[in-house]
Amino acid sequence: AATATLSDKSIYPYFCRLSPTTTGYSNAIRASIMHYAQNGPGWTDVAVFPVANEFSISLAESFINNAEPDINVVTYQQYLPGETDYDVEFTEIIHSGARVIIAFVPGEDWPGVINSADEYGLVGESYVWFTPSTVVGRHQPQGIDASRGALGSFIYVPEDTPELNMFRDLWFSADPEEYPLAGTPLNTFTYLGYDRMVVAARA
């Protein structure tokens, strides 16, 4: 639902969303890069690495369109959904000399991507990985060691509001037999689902 094309009210007059558009996410990553670029060289030469799906390509296109003139995209490497061999893509990133990698990948791909990148020497103190909401918005039990230092953009969720506290109380006290997954760890996507139901109920 973050795809920027859905913002066209002439085509989707009744569409609304709670999350930012891909433009919002990519602008946040761009702003983060420019912030850290004040600390020294190397931040503004980047590699863009998306999976070939609508959400990730929209993110990549938005980032590239807004990158210049301050950020130089030195290589663009795209992989197909379901692909697990990133030899061509990672070899090109190595040859590009980029130390900042913008990985627009789905959360389920992240452990395989980052662990493979580690094997290619693309993870460490000399590298920075930026990820989208699909990665930072969920718990990643695998690939956690290689993910240290990775940065991402996501929606701000207040930590202490009456609505949030009420939802947490209900979530952790509900019977999982009656409400499947009740009591399991929460992530920001769960909060978005709750907000969506509240908005629909009050509409």
Cα(51)–Cα(1) distance, integer angstroms: 17
Q: Are 182 and 175 in contact (CB under 8 A)?
A: yes
Residues sharing a CB contact under 8 Å with residue 129, sequence separation 6 or more, in sequence order: 101, 103, 114, 117, 123, 147, 149, 150, 151
Q: Return the pLDDT at 4.
A: 65
Indicate whether 194 and 141 sit together in one domain. no
Whether residue 199 is predicted with pLDDT greater than 90 in this model: the reply is no
Q: Return the pLDDT at 190.
A: 82
**Mean pLDDT, to the nearest integer, of 8-21?**
75
Here the CATH number for the domain that contains residue 85 is: 3.40.50.2300
Whether 137 is in a domain gets the answer yes
Q: How far is CA 201 from the centre of its chain?
A: 29
Whether 194 is in a domain gets the answer yes
Indicate whether 144 and 169 sit together in one domain. no
Indicate whether 174 and 193 sit together in one domain. yes
The whole-chain average pLDDT of the chain stands at 87
Q: Are 79 and 29 in contact (CB under 8 A)?
A: no
Indicate whether 109 and 32 sit together in one domain. yes
Q: Return the pLDDT at 107.
A: 86
Whether 1 is in a domain gets the answer no
Q: Are 118 and 97 in contact (CB under 8 A)?
A: no
Whether 8 is in a domain gets the answer no
Structural domain of 125: 22-152
Indicate whether 97 and 33 sit together in one domain. yes
Domain count for the chain, please give it: 2
Residue that wins the pLDDT comparison between 23 and 7:
23
Q: What is the pLDDT of residues 68-117, one digit of tens each?
A: 899 999 999 999 999 999 999 999 999 999 999 999 998 889 999 999 99
Whether 10 is in a domain gets the answer no
Whether 178 is in a domain gets the answer yes
Q: Are 101 and 93 in contact (CB under 8 A)?
A: yes
Cα(63)–Cα(46) distance, integer angstroms: 11
Indicate whether 81 and 180 sit together in one domain. no
Indicate whether 65 and 125 sit together in one domain. yes
Whether 146 is in a domain gets the answer yes
Q: Return the pLDDT at 130.
A: 93
Whether 5 is in a domain gets the answer no
